[in-house]
Amino acid sequence: MQRNHALVIAVIIFIVAASIYLSLQQQPADKANDQPDGQHNGAKAREGMPMAAHAGVVGNYSTSDFDPSVYLTTWNFNDLPPKEREKYYKETPLPDGTLIREYWFSAQDKKIEVAPGVFYDAWVYNGQAPGPTVRATDGDTIRIYFKNDGSKPHTIHFHGLHPAGMDGSFPDQFVNPGENFTYEFKAEPAGLHLYHCHSTPLKDHIAHGLYGAYIVDPKGSRAPAHELVMVLNSFDTNFDEENEIYAANTKAFYYMNNPIKVKKGELVRIYAVNIVEFDQINSLHIHGNFFNEYRTGTMPEPNAYTDIIELGQGERSVLELRFNETGLFMFHAHQTEFTEKGWMGAFDVQDAELPGQIENLSSQEVEE
Ligand code: CU
Ligand code: CU
């Protein structure tokens, strides 16, 4: 009897020890799923972030040809070194104090990764979806040299004021594969706008990835802020006219694995554009905070102080907020289906005093 007792205790000790050992093994196994190069793959973010609590991506993004973290703060190709940037963007001052801003755009067919291991045959501007963010000051001249290197007729239709011939919407304005067109117009009105292909069938050309953000700063500009561009988009990966992927800036759950770093107390300005196809309404909700909403960014006073906005296709809003608490704060569509299919991310609010964090306080392009 004594011996049986000892045996039972020994077995219990073994089971407990084995489960502790296995649970410890689990963590390195999760980390092993991250890419070894440590680039944009969420390895760092995951250390402090239990992803299992929410549906997220399985595996990691295999390509870095489009980095949603870089895209957030990129306009007028300002992520490129000067020599490289000249190939796509040039600005020339005029005597009246405005600028001529010249852009070199092309359209291509391209496979892009919209979730880890999920590739979509997109149509893109300059190799990326969303296309490059165009940014000017009210009254500047925008000139875009467009070349269609894709397999379908495309255009660039800008929201904003422009002459009829620059609209890129009627069939005689379609730019056929191999052809060129130069768009030229004044940047106006001040606000947050967008551009997209207006070739037909329109839903196909938008759903395939031909769109981008177009920011017109008011003369005198807005207050300095940590500025972020979010194009809310979606992908119909099986071509049944329903989306399988939703995101802010293309890659499902990207900012869950790579939370957007902001500093406690700093002014954060989000340029949010909705271009989701096949669904009537999209939304953007931020946790633990409220923001001022400037619809279309055209008026100096906010329209609302809220924590959620709804946007139909083509609608956009400028949002301003400050985080007064550190930690992780989620943002996502309040259509739960969209959230579960990728349209979910997080802000990582850090103390402003942290060394090495100060240089990003204002990411607004210094041109004034
Ligand atoms: Cu098109
Ligand atoms: Cu439009």
Nearest to 256 by CA among 3, 41, 89, 19: 41
Domains of the chain and CATH, by start:
68-367 (2.60.40.420)
Q: Considering every ligand atom shown, identify the ligand nearest to the alpha carbon of residue 122 and give its number.
A: 1
pLDDT of the residue at 18: 53
Residue type, 192: L
Q: At which residue do the structure tokens 């083509």 appear?
A: 314
Better-predicted residue by pLDDT, 3 or 56: 56
Mean pLDDT in residue range 118-145: 98
What are the phi and psi torsion angles at 42 (to 5°)? 90, 0
Is 152 a residue whose pLDDT tops 60?
yes
pLDDT of the residue at 230: 98
Mean pLDDT in residue range 72-83: 98
- The H or E element that residue 365 is part of is none
Is 47 a residue whose pLDDT tops 60?
no
Longest CA–CA separation in the chain, Å: 102
pLDDT of the residue at 10: 61
181 CA to centre of ligand 1 in angstroms: 14
Cβ(68)–Cβ(282) below 8 Å: no
Report residue 72 as tokens.
């957030």
Is 86 a residue whose pLDDT tops 90?
yes
Nearest to 326 by CA among 259, 247, 227: 259
Is 63 a residue whose pLDDT tops 90?
no
Report residue 91 as tokens.
């600005």
Q: At which residue do the structure tokens 């689990």 appear?
A: 26
Q: Considering every ligand atom shown, identify the ligand nearest to the alpha carbon of residue 174 and give its number.
A: 1
DSSP letter, residue 128:
B
139 CA to centre of ligand 1 in angstroms: 28
244 CA to centre of ligand 1 in angstroms: 21
Using one digit for the tens of pLDDT, what is the confidence trace for 90-120? 999 999 999 999 999 999 999 999 999 999 9
Q: At which residue do the structure tokens 């040299």 appear?
A: 145
pLDDT of the residue at 3: 60
196 CA to centre of ligand 2 in angstroms: 6
Tell me which of 46-50, 116-120, 121-125, 205-209 is least confident: 46-50
Q: At which residue do the structure tokens 């440590």 appear?
A: 38
241 CA to centre of ligand 1 in angstroms: 17
**pLDDT band, very low/low/confident/very high, at 360 (cuts 50, 70, 90):** very low
Report the share of the chain in percent with pLDDT over 70: 81
124 CA to centre of ligand 1 in angstroms: 9
**pLDDT band, very low/low/confident/very high, at 122 (cuts 50, 70, 90):** very high
Query: What mean pLDDT is reported for the chain?
Result: 87
- What count of other Cβ atoms lies within 10 Å of the Cβ of residue 280? 8
Q: Considering every ligand atom shown, identify the ligand nearest to the alpha carbon of residue 275 and give its number.
A: 2
**pLDDT band, very low/low/confident/very high, at 8 (cuts 50, 70, 90):** low
Q: At which residue do the structure tokens 């102080």 appear?
A: 305
23 CA to centre of ligand 2 in angstroms: 52
Better-predicted residue by pLDDT, 14 or 107: 107
Report residue 248 as tokens.
């802010």
Using one digit for the tens of pLDDT, what is the confidence trace for 171-211? 999 999 999 999 999 999 999 999 999 999 999 999 999 99
Using one digit for the tens of pLDDT, what is the confidence trace for 244-288? 999 999 999 999 999 999 999 999 999 999 999 999 999 999 999
Nearest to 332 by CA among 238, 263, 259: 259
Q: Considering every ligand atom shown, identify the ligand nearest to the alpha carbon of residue 203 and give its number.
A: 1
Q: Considering every ligand atom shown, identify the ligand nearest to the alpha carbon of residue 197 and give its number.
A: 1
Residue type, 361: L
Q: Considering every ligand atom shown, identify the ligand nearest to the alpha carbon of residue 210 and give its number.
A: 1
Q: Considering every ligand atom shown, identify the ligand nearest to the alpha carbon of residue 198 and give its number.
A: 1
What are the phi and psi torsion angles at 279 (to 5°)? -120, 140
pLDDT of the residue at 14: 60
Report residue 115 as tokens.
């979730």
Q: Considering every ligand atom shown, identify the ligand nearest to the alpha carbon of residue 124 and give its number.
A: 1
159 CA to centre of ligand 2 in angstroms: 6
Is 348 a residue whose pLDDT tops 90?
yes
Mean pLDDT in residue range 230-249: 97
Beta strands, E only, 289-368: 291-295, 304-306, 308-312, 316-321, 327-332, 344-350
Q: At which residue do the structure tokens 């007028």 appear?
A: 76
pLDDT of the residue at 54: 58
pTM above 0.85, yes or no: no
233 CA to centre of ligand 2 in angstroms: 14
Buried b (16+ CB within 10 A) or exposed e, 195-224: bbbbbeeeebbbbbbbbbbbbbbbeeebee
DSSP letter, residue 159:
S
Dist. CA 99–CA 362, nearest whole Å: 22
361 CA to centre of ligand 2 in angstroms: 32
**pLDDT band, very low/low/confident/very high, at 58 (cuts 50, 70, 90):** confident
